Structure 1
């Protein structure tokens, strides 16, 4: 397979993985009552913290999954 094609596929999988896990973490964070930690009337700040936490958690999980996948593909080289 062409090297550029391989890099393109990896980039597409990485982008999809990040967006997918950010969406899942945003959905999961909706079950928390973070608004009780903030002052009343600060809706924008509450929404912003949900978005930033979703990005941080989703990116971390996505990086973990992508690393595990990459390492598991490289594992056969240990035994060759």
Structure 2
């Protein structure tokens, strides 16, 4: 019985990890796509340089991370609501 519980817990943890990674990568990709419309010429001196592109990538990662955390938190909260009733 303990062996089944440990296996089930391991599988659940693994599935949650894969879901978190997939949501995070999807949100970073959406953030990258949405930041393509941002005009960085007014903020960055040379937006086509490697530093400008790196800043663009870092902005996409930060924005995607915040959105992914929100979505995953919201999913966790909605799953916890089942225990309320």
Distance 1:11 1:41, change over 3 A: closer
Residue among 26, 36, 40 paired with 2:32? 26
Residue among 57, 62, 67 paired with 1:61? 67
Structure 1 or 2, whichever has the larger Rg, is 2
Provide the C-alpha distance between the structure 2 equivalents of 1:71 and 1:49, rounded to a whole number of angstroms: 33
Q: Which runs of 5+ in 2 are unaligned?
A: 1-6
Please list every run of at least 4 consecutive aligned residues from structure 1 whose deviation after the TM superposition is greater than 2 angstroms: none
Residues paired across the two proteins, number = 79
Distance 1:36 1:76, change over 3 A: same
Provide the C-alpha distance between the structure 2 equivalents of 1:34 and 1:41, rounded to a whole number of angstroms: 6
The answer for the alignment partner of 1:37 in structure 2 is 43
Q: Which runs of 5+ in 1 are unaligned?
A: none
Q: What is the TM-score of this pair, normalised by structure 2? A: 0.85
The answer for the alignment partner of 1:48 in structure 2 is 54
